[in-house]
Structure 1
Amino acid sequence: MSERLSVAKTYKLYLGGAFPRSESGRTYPVTDSRGKFLANAAQASRKDVREAVVAARKAFGKWSGATAYNRGQVLYRVAELLEGRREQFIAEVSSSEGIQAKKAQSIVDAAIDRWVWYAGWTDKIATVLGASNPVAGPYFSFSVPEPTGVVGVLAPQKSSLLGLISVIAPVIATGCTAVVVTSQDRPLPAITLSEVLATSDVPGGVVNLLTGHTAELAPWLASHADVNALDLTGAPDELRADLEASASGTVKRVLRAAEEDWAKQPDIRRLRAVLETKTVWHPMGV
């Protein structure tokens, strides 16, 4: 008998809780660390970026308006589903990054643990980052952290899962929504994560994942007027200055994180980076 041919997969984007093809109809091959073909991934276009931002903006009101406790429950449910697909993530991280299964297992476990860490912060953000301010006069003054809005995220290029989760989890834990450009050459764990999100309680549009060429998509994300913040973690070094200049045109918050910054321990500063502080004054006795 002749050897059976495997059925090559062609994956789609994840926008607004659905899995559409790229508007351009383009795909590109994804290979493992040795150059062996793994699958085809959708190659997102400028219009796909716009559609992702529309979906993220539409989802922002409901997600930011949910109670912090509820957001924590939703994120914990994602961690449960990540645990359930642990073996698949191990296989994909191993093939994508060219590492042994044992090391891939430790990376996947660290990624799930990091997701849980940020999930635990949802109902603590206001307590830790908010304040009751001392004032001279018959007033109360409170500072309250609020989500910035839609955050554009350029995911780390070298870390296909742990780096990805390190930049997504803090964004949505704060109540923001995200448009994420995944690792260009290692998108498969991100695609599997999108399948996890689609079957979880995370509302459609809270996280939107775009596969494709980072250098093509990043400028459109940086210049988009309805994107409120930009995380440059996975941006190519030669594009960073231009992306910052473009982001300044719409007065975006810019997180100037380096490619390796995701590898550090989970950090509350990533939460603070996508939050704005509102200070409220109120007279006493009223």
Structure 2
Amino acid sequence: MTSEHSAPGETSRLAVAKTCKLYLGGAFPRSESGRVYPVRGADGALLANAALASRKDVRDAVAAARKAFPGWAGATAYNRGQVLFRIAEVLEGRRAQFAAEVAAAEGIGADAAGRAVDASIDRVVWFAGWTDKISTVLGGANPVAGPYFSFSVPEPTGVVGVLAPQESSLLGLVSVLAPVLATGCTAVVITSAERPLPAVALAEVLATSDVPAGAANLLTGLAAELGPWLASHADVNALDLTGADPELRPELERAAAGTVTRVLRAPRGEPDWTAAPGLERLRACTELKTVWHPIGT
């Protein structure tokens, strides 16, 4: 008997099953709870067992993101753009793997999955190009009456909690993660619960793409369980509710209000992730610092 891993005449062998872990602080730990849950493809077939993150994992991820924030926010815009472009390069090199992951997760054909991967790569490149333009476009000089000049400069807001889209396992994920990194913020992302495997593969790309440890943290698990802990965490500065269920959103907004966390509300309906992105997510991850200075001194 032969298999796809055996040459004619050789005995068959089992494929090496993938061990899915969290991506936290630049490492790949199992959930501290030891829990896992089955991940099934669109056809119902068992694909893998994914780590089921816990409250402690959320706390550890936020701590890692906070620790990484000064270094990542202090990097030059050029450097951040190069790191994002490196992510796109590695994605390009693993295109076939990601296309297979997306096809299995979303139940779409090979051509459609390939287009989704290509769009994901292009999306990362698009945000990479924005890193050195954010200050110019979102900031500016302010008109004042008097011997002063005044200007506003966008700065990264800090640690951003992200509930990733549930349906778009890769393109939606990179569309919400890339702007966080482009602005100099650090991210804690709760991935799609039913379709986490493309996110697990993306974590491997992040780990080999010069992204500083802790700048991006990906947790697999249930948004209903993890979302409230992320939203109420006092060290989270902004919260993206894109992937939250409509029933869960009010609870998360109330939890975020308790720590005065900025909230990017989820769009109505399922977003069209293939559409060209705008500046909304970049704005949501920045805060304006306005400086006044006397003229002539």
Normalised-by-shorter TM-score class: over 0.9
Selected match of 2:270 from 260, 276, 280: 260
Other-structure match for 1:33:
42
Following superposition, the deviation at residue 260 of structure 1 comes to 2.3
CA distance in 2, matches of 1:273, 1:27: 33
Local SS of the residue matching 1:105: helix
Selected match of 1:284 from 281, 287, 295: 295
Q: Is the 8 A contact 1:156 1:262 kept in 2?
A: no
Following superposition, the deviation at residue 188 of structure 1 comes to 0.6
CA distance in 1, matches of 2:38, 2:223: 15
Consecutive unaligned residues in structure 2, runs of 5 or more? 2-10
- Alignment-mate amino acid for residue 187 of structure 2: A
- Alignment-mate amino acid for residue 79 of structure 2: N
Local SS of the residue matching 2:202: helix
Is it true that 1:221 corresponds to 2:230 in the alignment?
yes
Question: In the TM superposition, what whole-angstrom CA distance separates every residue of 1:232-261 from its partner, at most 9, and x where no partner exists?
Answer: 000011110010011000001100023623
The 5-angstrom pairing of residues 118-133 of structure 1 reads 118-133=127-142
Other-structure match for 1:18:
27
Local SS of the residue matching 1:276: strand
Is it true that 1:236 corresponds to 2:214 in the alignment?
no
Other-structure match for 1:275:
286
- Alignment-mate amino acid for residue 128 of structure 1: V
CA distance in 2, matches of 1:10, 1:213: 19
CA distance in 1, matches of 2:32, 2:264: 29
RMSD: 1.2
Q: Is the 8 A contact 1:167 1:262 kept in 2?
A: no
**TM-score normalised per structure 1:** 0.98
Following superposition, the deviation at residue 269 of structure 1 comes to 1.2
CA distance in 1, matches of 2:276, 2:225: 30
Q: Which aligned segments of 4 or more residues in structure 1 are displaced greater than 6 angstroms?
A: none
Following superposition, the deviation at residue 146 of structure 1 comes to 0.4
Consecutive unaligned residues in structure 1, runs of 5 or more? none
- Alignment-mate amino acid for residue 161 of structure 1: L
Deviates more, 1:55-64 or 1:257-266: 257-266
Other-structure match for 2:97:
88
**TM-score normalised per structure 2:** 0.94
Q: Is the 8 A contact 1:156 1:164 kept in 2?
A: yes
Question: In the TM superposition, what whole-angstrom CA distance separates every residue of 1:31-83 from its partner, at most 9, and x where no partner exists?
Answer: 11011011111100000000000000000000000010111111111110010
Aligned length: 286
Q: Is the 8 A contact 2:116 2:171 kept in 1?
A: yes
Following superposition, the deviation at residue 175 of structure 1 comes to 0.2
Following superposition, the deviation at residue 225 of structure 1 comes to 0.3
Sequence identity percentage: 73
Deviates more, 1:198-207 or 1:253-262: 253-262
Local SS of the residue matching 1:190: helix
Q: Is the 8 A contact 2:72 2:215 kept in 1?
A: yes
CA distance in 2, matches of 1:59, 1:252: 19
CA distance in 2, matches of 1:232, 1:240: 7
- Alignment-mate amino acid for residue 92 of structure 1: E
CA distance in 1, matches of 2:93, 2:213: 21
Local SS of the residue matching 1:120: helix
Q: Is the 8 A contact 1:89 1:108 kept in 2?
A: yes
Question: In the TM superposition, what whole-angstrom CA distance separates every residue of 1:182-223 from its partner, at most 9, and x where no partner exists?
Answer: 000000110110000101111010000000111100000000
- Alignment-mate amino acid for residue 73 of structure 2: S
Following superposition, the deviation at residue 25 of structure 1 comes to 0.4
Q: Is the 8 A contact 2:244 2:266 kept in 1?
A: no
Q: Is the 8 A contact 1:153 1:232 kept in 2?
A: yes
With over 3 angstroms needed to count, the CA separation of the structure-2 counterparts of 1:262 and 1:252, relative to structure 1, is farther
CA distance in 2, matches of 1:262, 1:202: 28
Other-structure match for 1:57:
66
Other-structure match for 2:165:
156
CA distance in 2, matches of 1:6, 1:173: 37
Following superposition, the deviation at residue 130 of structure 1 comes to 0.7
Local SS of the residue matching 1:260: coil
Deviates more, 1:225-234 or 1:253-262: 253-262
CA distance in 1, matches of 2:13, 2:136: 59
